[in-house]
């Protein structure tokens, strides 16, 4: 039996994924992660909208930054089967340990320049962000980070994070051997097309459902989740 401190699986596994191995099996629904939450009301609204996972940014360089203590407090509001995700950018091993101690059920997300060894050192399930630079070899990246539960694909911009920018989805190889989380500039208007074209295991949104950085819009979160649900029936084997 898993340890009580082991978070429930969220991203699935390559063996059960469909859509070029990076997406859900035919007939399954696309998972939804909403990232960059900072307020209790927004956490509650995201859960009510139907999010499967909520992300809390622990990188001080982000306008959506929260402290580990604050992240743990917000994560404590989540009901069963909604996964908290702690986002790090080049954090030290000690900083990661401290955050995990405060929120032991969280999935980790590494969004900086972390090596495979640094990600594995946390000894926790994790997502690895792949910033889609012009020269990235996503198949090689996936091979290097084969310990990740999924790769989160984000736009490549100065600094870290996608800055609300969409990258060219046609650059995603069809044979990436792990679940994929589509991110980068998604919003209620384009996520249906993203799900249909990419067929990811999950989608990730932050600025696309905000009034301002770190302040979510309940209506936009509902519309985003509904747009994903509308896309799912069109996915076939």
Q: Which two structure tokens, joined as six digits, stand for 178? A: 């792990």
119 catalytic per annotation = no
User: Largest Cα–Cα distance of the chain, in whole Å?
Assistant: 45
154 catalytic per annotation = yes
From the candidates 35, 119, 178, 225, give the one annotated as an active-site residue.
35
The residue with tokens 């309940």 is 218
Q: Are 220 and 209 in contact (CB under 8 A)?
A: yes
Cα 129 from Cα 75, distance rounded (Å): 21
Residue 97 CB-density burial (10 A; 0-12 exposed, 13-18 middle, 19+ buried) = middle
From the candidates 42, 52, 154, 204, give the one annotated as an active-site residue.
154
Rg of the chain (C-alpha set): 16
Q: Which residues have a catalytic role annotated?
A: 35, 154
């Amino acid at each position: 039996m898993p340890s009580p401190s082991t978070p429930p699986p969220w991203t699935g596994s390559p063996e059960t994924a469909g859509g070029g191995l990076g997406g859900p099996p035919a007939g399954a629904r696309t998972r939804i992660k909403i990232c960059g939450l900072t307020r209790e009301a927004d956490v509650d609204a995201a859960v009510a909208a139907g999010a499967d996972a909520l992300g809390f940014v622990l990188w001080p360089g982000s306008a959506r930054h929260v402290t580990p203590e604050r992240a743990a407090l917000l994560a404590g509001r989540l009901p069963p089967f909604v996964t908290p995700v702690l986002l790090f950018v080049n954090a030290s091993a000690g900083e990661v340990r401290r955050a995990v101690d405060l929120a032991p059920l969280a999935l980790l997300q590494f969004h900086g320049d972390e090596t495979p060894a640094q990600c594995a050192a946390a000894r926790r399930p994790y997502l690895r962000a792949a910033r889609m630079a012009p020269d990235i070899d996503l198949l090689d990246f996936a091979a290097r980070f084969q310990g990740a539960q999924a790769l989160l694909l984000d736009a490549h911009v100065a600094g870290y994070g996608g800055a609300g920018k969409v990258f060219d989805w046609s650059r995603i190889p069809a044979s990436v051997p792990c679940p994929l989380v589509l991110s980068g500039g998604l919003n209620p208007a384009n996520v249906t097309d993203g799900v249909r074209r990419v067929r990811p295991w999950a989608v990730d949104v932050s600025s696309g459902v905000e009034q301002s950085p770190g302040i979510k819009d309940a209506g936009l979160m509902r519309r985003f989740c509904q747009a994903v649900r509308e896309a799912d029936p069109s996915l076939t084997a």
